């Protein structure tokens, strides 16, 4: 009988049934085995008792003992929890240990109660009780049954504690103790299905956290994060605060405050303003906040995006202040922000890859190299060109990550082509302005290609005129000189679309200029574009700079360029950008064979 009971309850525990369901089922089965007893199980928090299961007890009795403080006069269960020992009361009416609750339990017809502590190790975590309607103590069979039940309850409670602890760790930020991003996402999902009132979101970023980390060290930065967390929590009031990670916090504002985000944001900013000592350094915490209001039934993801846009706008225009989303807020910033989010997700999900557009000899159509172009695969499988997410590159972090991904992909592909003995000469890789301002572009390039075993003379770095000419602090110019000193060749992309290009070529020379498609499109009889291209060809020749014509789409353009002395070009006339499999096939079929071993990297001059 007891073995069957044990097996049934252990199976429920093993299957992960809820604690209350498991213990209530235990009570029902025990009452079926011993019909003249009523079973009660209470949880104990170290001070007070809380009903867990008592299927035969009326609800008002369970409500009456909720929160009952343990002690020597707190009935059988309160006393058993207090001393950690079984308590047998054979006459509730006269026993002094039933000073509290005697009238209530006797009104239900109970005359005796036997309670046993449930322990986890040495700690009392609950009580298991038999109520009798006659004055008596336990029988030997009941003693065996209770011993088994107390052990089963202990197992069930310990397992439940482990589950709760795992959930706490899963949904709690370790540094601040606030609910984390996982819990934030969970709450947002719950809002969608249950919210019946207006609500809103505040998103806050700590200002200058990186500066604190770089100046005082990460211990000071962590201390600042904890200070901000405490102050955001205090200012949030009835709202729920979260740490999303890094310097990001969120506050979900509900109930009657859902429409009054401004006052809640003001309270947070005010609460942050006082100075704090962080790892021995005096720091003045500050944050920038963006917010968005929602009506009943609003899509939480959309409201989150609105708050993100508002925060982004605040960081761009109103750092240290609060900006609330409104329709049409910062259209350009919104486009950039969405591009940044899309590229960030694509990087995380490994949906960004290199495609290759051939660069060919215009006379023989042989492939002398490739330009590596970034392509993003959407979740639906569509291939998207970089022009569609170019705005994302204005974010320095995203731009750096994207370049690193491309460097790794290109290095791996070049190594593959060399190992296959294909006649690869060079691959052009595009760099953004952000790459030059990280301060380590040369080291990153050298490291990636060295680790892949790819000689640097297979690489051409392509820099647009806007990057090359748009910097007044000489960072790009100095970096280009350093890269060329390493043996890397540099191409000036989109040549002719910038300003004062020729003057800059005298001070910061490059190895290749790529004439922009806008000039190639004008290679028609009678158009002045012909004379401009002819002039550029002459200047480049005299400066010892190679020329590649971009955007060649029809044969007449190729013929004009050949007549003007241009030897190299790329464009849809020859091939669009293709994936590595197709690029490998093109290289095998049309790659220009150069005397000697192709893998040694000899080039066409």
Backbone angles phi, psi at 107, to 5 degrees: -65, -25
**Would the pLDDT of 255 be above 60?**
no
Task: Return the closest-CA partner of residue 423 out of 224, 591, 229.
Answer: 591
Confidence of residue 597 (pLDDT cuts 50, 70, 90): very low
Q: What would the mean pLDDT of 102-128 be, rounded to a whole number?
A: 94
Backbone angles phi, psi at 574, to 5 degrees: -100, -50
Domains recognised in the chain with CATH numbers: 2-170 (3.30.450.40), 181-329 (3.30.70.270), 340-592 (3.20.20.450)
Model pLDDT, residue 598: 40
Confidence of residue 498 (pLDDT cuts 50, 70, 90): low
CB atoms within 10 A of CB 561: 22
**Would the pLDDT of 603 be above 50?**
no
User: Reduced to 3 states, what is the DSSP secondary structure of residue 366?
Assistant: coil
**Nearest-angstrom CA–CA distance, 397 and 237:** 34
Model pLDDT, residue 605: 28
- Among 6-15, 290-299, 517-526, the range of highest mean pLDDT: 6-15
Residue 20 has, within 13 A of its CA and on its CB side, a CA count of 6
Instruction: Return mean pLDDT, the chain.
Output: 88
Confidence of residue 548 (pLDDT cuts 50, 70, 90): very high
Confidence of residue 601 (pLDDT cuts 50, 70, 90): very low
Helices (H), 92-249: 102-107, 140-171, 181-194, 209-216, 218-236
Q: Which residues is 576 bridged to in the sheet?
A: none
Q: What is the DSSP letter of 593?
A: P
**Nearest-angstrom CA–CA distance, 15 and 2:** 20
Confidence of residue 600 (pLDDT cuts 50, 70, 90): very low
User: Reduced to 3 states, what is the DSSP secondary structure of residue 521?
Assistant: coil
Model pLDDT, residue 330: 65
pLDDT in tens, 72-104: 999 999 999 999 999 999 999 999 999 888 988
Task: Return the closest-CA partner of residue 241 out of 283, 219, 272.
Answer: 272
pLDDT in tens, 321-378: 999 998 877 666 667 777 888 888 888 899 999 999 999 999 999 999 999 999 999 8
Residue listed under structure tokens 């892949």: 452
pLDDT in tens, 384-408: 888 888 778 777 788 888 999 999 9
Where are any strands of DSSP class E within 295-379?
A: 322-324, 352-361, 367-377
**Nearest-angstrom CA–CA distance, 243 and 537:** 58
| Percent over 90 (pLDDT), the chain | 58
Q: Which residues is 323 bridged to in the sheet?
A: 290
Q: What would the mean pLDDT of 40-52 be, rounded to a whole number?
A: 95
Write out the H or E segment, with its range, that includes residue 203. strand 199-206
Tokens standing for 437? 């301002």
Confidence of residue 198 (pLDDT cuts 50, 70, 90): confident
**Nearest-angstrom CA–CA distance, 333 and 314:** 10
Q: What would the mean pLDDT of 532-551 be, rounded to a whole number?
A: 90
Confidence of residue 579 (pLDDT cuts 50, 70, 90): very high
**Would the pLDDT of 481 be above 60?**
yes
- Name the region of 429 (left: φ>0; alpha: ψ -120 to 50; beta: rest): beta
Q: Is residue 55 packed enough to be buried (19+ CB in 10 Å), middle (13-18) or exposed (0-12)?
A: middle
Confidence of residue 524 (pLDDT cuts 50, 70, 90): confident
| Percent over 70 (pLDDT), the chain | 93
CB atoms within 10 A of CB 154: 18
**Nearest-angstrom CA–CA distance, 200 and 294:** 5
Model pLDDT, residue 95: 95
- Count Cβ neighbours within 10 Å for each residue of 380-394 and write b for 16 or more, e otherwise: eeeebebeebebbbe
- Name the region of 358 (left: φ>0; alpha: ψ -120 to 50; beta: rest): beta
Confidence of residue 10 (pLDDT cuts 50, 70, 90): very high
**Nearest-angstrom CA–CA distance, 288 and 304:** 16
Tokens standing for 208? 């200058």
**Nearest-angstrom CA–CA distance, 83 and 557:** 96
**Nearest-angstrom CA–CA distance, 191 and 36:** 47
Q: Which positions ≥6 away from 417 have C-beta within 8 Å? A: 424, 584, 587
Check: CB of residue 424 under 8 Å from CB of residue 598.
yes
Please give the span between the terminal C-alpha atoms of the chain, in angstroms, as a whole number: 93
Helices (H), 522-596: 529-543, 555-563, 580-590
Confidence of residue 504 (pLDDT cuts 50, 70, 90): low
**Would the pLDDT of 505 be above 80?**
no
**Would the pLDDT of 471 be above 60?**
no
Residue 587 CA, chain-centre distance (Å), reads 39
Task: Return the closest-CA partner of residue 459 out of 509, 410, 494.
Answer: 410
Strands in 199-206's sheet, in edge-to-edge order, are 240-245, 248-253, 199-206, 287-294, 322-324
Q: Which residues is 291 bridged to in the sheet?
A: 202, 324
When comparing pLDDT for 212 and 257, which is higher?
212
**Would the pLDDT of 179 be above 50?**
yes
pLDDT in tens, 581-590: 999 999 999 9
Residue listed under structure tokens 């922000």: 337
Tokens standing for 68? 């009952």
**Nearest-angstrom CA–CA distance, 599 and 4:** 74
Model pLDDT, residue 602: 35
When comparing pLDDT for 379 and 98, which is higher?
98
3-state helix, strand, coil in the chain (%, to 5): 50, 20, 30
């Amino acid at each position: 009988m007891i073995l069957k009971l044990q097996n049934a309850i252990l199976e429920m525990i093993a299957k992960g049934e809820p604690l209350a369901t498991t213990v209530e089922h235990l009570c029902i089965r025990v009452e079926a085995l011993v019909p003249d007893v009523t079973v009660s199980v209470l949880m104990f928090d170290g001070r007070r008792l809380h009903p867990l299961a008592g299927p035969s007890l009326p609800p008002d009795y369970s409500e009456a003992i909720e929160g009952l403080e343990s002690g020597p006069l707190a009935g059988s269960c309160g006393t058993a929890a207090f001393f950690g020992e079984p308590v047998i009361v054979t006459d509730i009416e006269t026993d002094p240990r039933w000073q509290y609750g005697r009238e209530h339990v006797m009104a239900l017809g109970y005359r005796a109660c036997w309670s046993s502590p449930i322990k986890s190790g040495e700690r009392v975590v609950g009580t298991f009780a038999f109520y009798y309607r006659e004055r008596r103590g336990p029988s030997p069979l009941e003693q065996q049954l209770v011993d088994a039940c107390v052990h089963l309850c202990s197992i069930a409670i310990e397992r439940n504690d482990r589950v709760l602890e795992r959930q706490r760790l899963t949904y709690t930020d370790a540094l601040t103790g606030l609910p984390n991003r996982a819990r934030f996402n969970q709450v947002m999902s719950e809002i969608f299905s249950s919210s019946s009132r207006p609500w809103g979101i505040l998103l806050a970023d700590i200002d200058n956290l990186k500066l604190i980390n770089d100046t005082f060290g990460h211990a000071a930065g962590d201390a600042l994060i904890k200070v901000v967390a405490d102050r955001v929590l205090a200012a949030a009031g009835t709202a729920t605060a979260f740490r999303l990670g890094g310097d990001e916090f969120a506050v979900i504002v509900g109930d009657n405050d859902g429409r009054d985000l401004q006052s809640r944001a003001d309270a947070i900013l005010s609460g942050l303003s006082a100075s704090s000592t962080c790892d021995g350094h005096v720091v003045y915490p500050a944050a920038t906040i963006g917010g968005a209001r929602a009506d009943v039934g609003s899509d939480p993801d959309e409201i989150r995006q609105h708050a993100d846009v508002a925060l982004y706008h605040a960081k761009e225009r109103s750092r240290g202040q609060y900006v609330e989303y409104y329709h049409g807020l910062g259209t350009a910033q919104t486009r950039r922000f969405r591009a940044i989010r899309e590229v960030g997700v694509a990087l995380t999900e490994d949906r960004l890859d290199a495609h290759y557009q051939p660069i060919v000899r215009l006379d023989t159509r042989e492939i002398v190299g490739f330009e590596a172009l970034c392509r993003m695969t959407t979740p639906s499988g569509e291939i998207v060109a970089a022009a569609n997410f170019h705005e994302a590159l204005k974010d320095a972090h995203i731009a750096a990550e994207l370049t690193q991904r491309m460097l790794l992909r290109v290095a791996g592909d070049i190594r593959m082509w060399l190992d296959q003995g294909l006649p690869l000469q060079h691959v052009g890789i595009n760099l953004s302005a952000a790459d030059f301002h990280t301060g380590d572009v040369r080291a990153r390039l050298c490291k990636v290609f060295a680790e892949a075993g790819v000689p640097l003379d297979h690489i051409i770095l392509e820099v647009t005129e806007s990057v090359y000419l748009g910097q007044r602090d000489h960072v790009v110019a100095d970096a280009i000189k350093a890269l060329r000193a390493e043996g890397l060749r540099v191409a000036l992309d989109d040549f002719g679309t910038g300003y004062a290009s020729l003057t800059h070529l005298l001070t910061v020379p490059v190895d290749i200029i790529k004439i922009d498609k806008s000039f190639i499109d004008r290679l028609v009889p009678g158009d002045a574009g012909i004379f401009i291209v002819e002039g550029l060809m002459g200047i480049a020749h005299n400066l010892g700079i190679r020329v590649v014509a971009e955007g060649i789409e029809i044969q007449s353009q190729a013929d004009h360029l050949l007549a003007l002395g241009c030897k190299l070009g790329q464009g849809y006339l020859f091939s669009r950008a293709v994936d590595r499999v197709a690029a490998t096939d093109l290289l095998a079929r049309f790659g220009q064979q150069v005397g000697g071993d192709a893998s040694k990297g000899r080039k066409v001059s």
